[in-house]
Amino acid sequence: MRPRVIGLTGQTGAGKSTVSDIFRRWGAAVIDCDAVARRVVEPGSPALRREQEAFGPEILRPDGSLDRAKTAEIVFSDPEQLKKWCDILYPAITEYIVEELERLENIPLAVLDAPTLFESGADALCDFIVSVTAPRDERLRRIMARDGISREAALRRMSAQREDDYYASRSGAVIVNSGGREELERQLQAIRPKLWREE
C-alpha cells in the first residue's frame, strides 16, 4: 500500500532541508527531489542526452557529467531556456518519484522535498502539502553561504522563484522559518495531526 504522501516545498533558502530532518526523525521516508534531479541526469541517462541536444555540448564536463554551474548560467538567465530545461527534467523526476513511492512498503508517511513541487506537477502525487517560507534577507544570506555564490547570483536564483502568496494559496499549511529550530518544530508539531490522517 502506498504511503500517505506529504509535499514539502518553498523558496530556495527557506529551510526545507531542516524541516525534512524533522520529518525523518518522526519516522517519515524523505525523497529529496534535488538528489533525484541529479540522479536522472547522470552520464548516459536519457534526460542528460536530451538536455545536451537542447543546450549543446558546453553543458557537459570533459568526463561527460553535467556542468551544473554552466547550466545554471544558461537556464537562470533566460525564462525560455529555463522552461526548455524544465520540460525535459520534470517528467524524468516524476517518473523516478513514482517508482520510489512504489518501493516504500510498510511506511505510513513519505515526504517529497521538492522546491518545484507545483511547477513540476508532482503536487498531484501528494495527499497534503506543506510550504516553507522565510524573510527575503534571510533567504539571501542562506543561499550565499550554502552555495558559495555572489549576492548577484543568489538574487538571480531568487528572482526565478515564486512569492509567498503563491505557496500559501496552494498548500494545506505554511511554515514560516524566521526563528530558530525550536520555533520551527513548534509550528510543525501544530500541524502534525493533519499529516497522518485523511483530511
What CATH number belongs to 4-193?
3.40.50.300
Share the mean pLDDT of the chain.
Answer: 89
Q: SS in 3 state form for the chain?
A: CCCEEEEEEECCCCCHHHHHHHHHHCCCEEEEHHHHHHHCCCCCCHHHHHHHHHHCHHHECCCCCECHHHHHHHHCCCHHHHHHHHHHHHHHHHHHHHHHHHHCCCCCEEEEECCCHHHHCHHHHCCEEEEEECCHHHHHHHHHHHHCCCHHHHHHHHHCCCCHHHHHCCCCEEEECCCCHHHHHHHHHHHHHHHCCCC
Tell me the per-residue pLDDT of 65-91, one tens digit each, with 9 for 90 and over.
999 889 988 888 888 998 999 999 999
pLDDT at 115: 87
Instruction: Give the mean pLDDT of 105-121.
Output: 89
With cut-offs at 50, 70 and 90, classify the pLDDT of residue 199. Answer: very low
35 pLDDT higher than 90: yes
59 pLDDT higher than 70: yes
With cut-offs at 50, 70 and 90, classify the pLDDT of residue 197. Answer: low
166 pLDDT higher than 70: yes
Domain ranges of the chain: 4-193
Predicted TM-score of the model (pTM): 0.83
163 pLDDT higher than 60: yes
